[in-house]
Amino acid sequence: MPTQTIYTLIKQLLKKKTTNPFPVKYTPDNMHDAQELIEEGKLEINPPVEVPPGFRGKLKYDKESCIGCQLCVKVCPSEALVFTEERKVRHYVTRCTFCGQCVDICPTDSFEFTDEFLMAGPEKLYDDLVLNP
């Protein structure tokens, strides 16, 4: 039994880690300073995990090709899509469940999934969190 334990331990040391690393090893004291350092290129961060093909990330909306048929509004389960007065669609990213039914049903393919998954913001209606505001 002890030999098996030692064998397993050595094997574990040589193996690649199963979990994904954090962006930085320790939490920086000041987030703003750290962000500046990253922008200046002085602090290296571990890149985010690669997404698989066909990943359901943030939606991309093409306003020009939209014909205002409202089918996407009807199939959206979480009311993330709202029909606007200019006969286009407004998308609230924070309400989206990424089921992709709007992508499937759109007759003009105005919706598209992207690989973007970093979608945090300080408030619900922050900058990029509403498409076609």
Partner 1 sequence: MNGENGAEETTYEVPIGPIHPALKEPFLIKFRLDGEEIVDAEPHPGMNHRGIEFMGMHRNPMEVIPLSERICGICSIVHQHMFTTATEHALQIEPTNRARYIRTIMCELERIHSHILWAGVAAHEIGFDTHLHLTWKIREKVMDLLEYIAGNRVNYSMWTFGGVRRDITEEMHPKISETLEYYEKTYDKLENIFLKDPSIKMRTKDVGILSKKKALELCGVGPTVRASGVKKDVRIDQPYAAYGDIDIDYVIPSRYGFEDKGDVFSKTVVRLKELLQSIDIIKQCVAQMPEGEITSEPKKAALFNKLEKKDGEGIGRIEAPRGEAIHYVRLSEGREDIDNWKIRASTYNNLPTYAPMFMGEQIADIPIIAASIDPCIGCMDRAEIVDIRSGETETYAREELHELSVEKTKKLKEEGI
Select from 101, 116, 130, 132 the one that contacts partner 1 (CB under 8 A). 101
SS (H, E, C) the chain: CHHHHHHHHHHHHHCCCCCCCCCCCCCCCCHHHHHHHHHHCCCCCCCCCCCCCCCCCCEEECCCCCCCCCHHHHHCCCCCEEECCCCCEEEEHHHCCCCCHHHHHCCCCCEEECCCCCCCCCCCCCHHHEECC
Q: Does 82 bind partner 1 (CB under 8 A)?
A: no
Q: Does 2 bind partner 1 (CB under 8 A)?
A: no
Which positions from 19 through 38 interact with partner 1, judged by CB under 8 A? none
Least Å distance between CB 52 and partner 1?
Answer: 5
Select from 3, 12, 18, 27 the one that contacts partner 1 (CB under 8 A). 18
User: Interacting stretch for partner 1, rule CB under 8 A, among 26-34, 38-46, 67-75, 82-90?
Assistant: 67-75
